[in-house]
Amino acid sequence: MAQTKTDNSFLADKIALRIRHLPKGDVNVLDCFAGTGKLWDAVQETTGRTIRVLPIDKRKDINRFRLPGNNLRFLQTLDLSKFNVIDLDAYGIPFAQLQVLFERGYKGTVIVTFIQSVFGQLPHELAVAVGFSQTMMDKIPTLLGARGWEYFCQWLANHGVSRLFHVGSSRKHYFAFRISE
Ligand SMILES: C[S@@+](CC[C@H](N)C(=O)[O-])C[C@H]1O[C@@H](n2cnc3c(N)ncnc32)[C@H](O)[C@@H]1O
C-alpha cells in the first residue's frame, strides 16, 4: 500500500533540504516566514554550525525576536546582499516575494515552500506572467491550476533559474536554487 507522508516527515525533508544547501563559510539567513524558528533551530542543532538568522513574521503571538510585519516590506527595503540564504517557507505560493528577489537582483541561495490550495488556483500575476489571458483564467482556472507547478517552474526558468533541488509531489513542493553572480 502506498504510504502517505506525515507532517513530521515533511518537516524532516525541509530540514534536510536546508542542511544540503548551506553555503560554505559564514551563513546569514533572512528567514521571511520564520514562525517560531523551528526549522533553523533544527539546522543549527543538527550541523553544530553557527548560523545567523534574521527572522521575520507577521504573527503577533511569537515570543522571540523577529522583525514584525509583512515580509514584502522588508524584502523591498533591507540590504539583501547581507544574506547568503533567503528562506521562503510559505503556507501558499510566495510568488510576490520571489518577484521582489528577481527585481532587486538578489544573488545567493533561495529555499522555497510552494503549496497550492485544494482548489489549485494560481496567483493571478503568475498566470499572466506565463502568458494566460484574463479570459482563459476565468474560463479554465482548474485546468491552469492542475499544471500550476509546471507553470511556476517555467516562470522561474524565465528568470534564469535553470536548476532546482526539489522534494515533494502533487500540491506541496520544497525546493532550493542558487542565483549566482
Ligand atoms: C509555514 S509557517 C513557517 C514555519 C517556520 N519556518 C518555522 O520554522 O517554524 C509560515 C509562517 O509565515 C508567516 N507569514 C505568512 N505570510 C507572511 C507575510 N506576508 N509576512 C510575514 N510572515 C508571514 C505566518 O505567520 C507563519 O508563522
Element housing 176 (H / E)? strand 172-179
Angle, CA of 17, 91 and 137, to the nearest 5°: 115
Where in the sequence is the domain holding 66, given as residue range(s)?
11-119+166-179
Sole residue written with cell 536554487: 177
pTM above 0.85, yes or no: yes
Q: pLDDT per residue over 90-109, tens digit each?
A: 999 999 999 999 999 999 99
Which numbered atom of ligand 1 lies nearest the CA of 41?
8
Q: What's the mean per-residue pLDDT of the chain?
A: 91
**CATH number, domain containing residue 106:** 3.40.50.150
Residue 4 lies in a domain: no
- How confident is the model over 118-165, as pLDDT tens digits? 777 888 899 999 999 888 888 888 888 888 999 999 999 999 998 888
CB of 35 closer than 6 angstroms to any ligand 1 atom? yes
* Stated length of the chain: 181
Query: Residues 38-61, buried b or exposed e (16+ Cβ, 10 A)?
Result: ebbebbeeeeeeebebbbbbeeee
Ligand 1 geometric centre to CA of 135 (Å): 33
Domain total for the chain? 1
| pLDDT of 59 strictly over 90 | yes
Q: All 3 cell numbers of residue 130?
A: 506565463
